[in-house]
Amino acid sequence: DAKTTQPTSMDCAEGRAANLPCNHSTISGNEYVYWYRQIHSQGPQYIIHGLKNNETNEMASLIITEDRKSSTLILPHATLRDTAVYYCIVSPSHNTDKLIFGTGTRLQVFP
Amino acid sequence: EPEVTQTPSHQVTQMGQEVILRCVPISNHLYFYWYRQILGQKVEFLVSFYNNEISEKSEIFDDQFSVERPDGSNFTLKIRSTKLEDSAMYFCASSEPPRADTQYFGPGTRLTVL
């Protein structure tokens, strides 16, 4: 079972920052936080991951709280193409196996 | 940018028939996966494959399912005798060492069992 809790849905205006929260209060010391998204039944797309430090790449930023029990994915300037279901997943760093997807957050970006 | 490809994009079959879903992972990747997503439901892990053998499989991956890497590029999922409940999107994914847990997914094959 997924070890994360996310809001079912969120809205965001185009051009504004989208902040997607995730709770993972039972995260273990060796588990990373991963974010994937799925645009309308396409294959899931990797976005970003982190262990305890904040991370940024060309797609998004990931803010992890100091106690690592929650995190926030930030899309700095949301576009209509960012409308998707966003999944927060915790996984051990050495894991070569399954990703466990929950129900995610359905982000709707509106004009 | 390299990507995972899957064929066919849509497969329609009769119940009880065998189907083979094909995937071409990213060329330097060594870990391969199949997931499925029944319409309106979560993405579910089926199986992972590394070094020419299954490394983990889920309860869904019963004796009706098999995987194979027949050559250096293809990775296949076979369903021997399809059931109505096998209708779903099937996604292939691959990842590279050392970070096997950053997985890159293909566009999926929609399997419809009639």
Q: Render B28-96 in DSSP notation, one character per residue.
A: T--EEEEEEE-TTS-EEEEEEEETTEEEEE-TT--TTEEEE--SSS-EEEEESS--GGG-EEEEEEEE-
Indicate yes or no: CB of B108 within 8 angstroms of CB of A43.
yes
The per-residue pLDDT of chain B, averaged, comes to: 93
Q: Please say whether the beta carbons of B30 and A88 come within 8 A.
A: no
Report how far residue B63's alpha carbon sits from residue B18's, in angstroms, rounded to the nearest whole number: 13
Indicate yes or no: CB of A46 within 8 angstroms of CB of B45.
no
Q: Is the pLDDT of residue A1 over 60?
A: no
Confidence of residue A93 (pLDDT cuts 50, 70, 90): low
Confidence of residue A97 (pLDDT cuts 50, 70, 90): low
Question: What proportion of chain A, given as a percentage, has pLDDT over 90?
Answer: 77
Q: A35 CB near a chain B CB, below 8 Å?
A: no
A42, A95, A101: residue with CB nearest B100: A95
Which residue of chain A comes nearest to B34, CA vs CA? A98
Which pLDDT value is given to residue B60? 94
Coil, helix or strand at residue A49: strand
Indicate yes or no: CB of B104 within 8 angstroms of CB of A46.
yes
Report how far residue A38's alpha carbon sits from residue B55's, in angstroms, rounded to the nearest whole number: 25
Structure tokens at B49: 């494959």
Among candidate residues B58, B7, B51, the one with its CA nearest the CA of residue B29: B51
The C-alpha of B113 sits at a distance from chain A's nearest C-alpha, in angstroms, of: 18
The C-alpha of B17 sits at a distance from chain A's nearest C-alpha, in angstroms, of: 25
Confidence of residue A28 (pLDDT cuts 50, 70, 90): confident
Mean pLDDT of A68-74: 96
Report the range of poorest mean pLDDT among B30-34, B87-91, B110-114: B30-34
Which pLDDT value is given to residue A11? 97
The per-residue pLDDT of chain A, averaged, comes to: 92
Coil, helix or strand at residue A81: helix
Structure tokens at A110: 């509106």
B102 interaction partners in chain A (CB closer than 8 Å): 34, 46, 49
Measured in degrees and rounded to the nearest 5, phi and psi for residue A37 equal: -135, 160
Mean pLDDT of A95-99: 71
Confidence of residue B101 (pLDDT cuts 50, 70, 90): low
In the chain, the amino acid numbered B3 is E
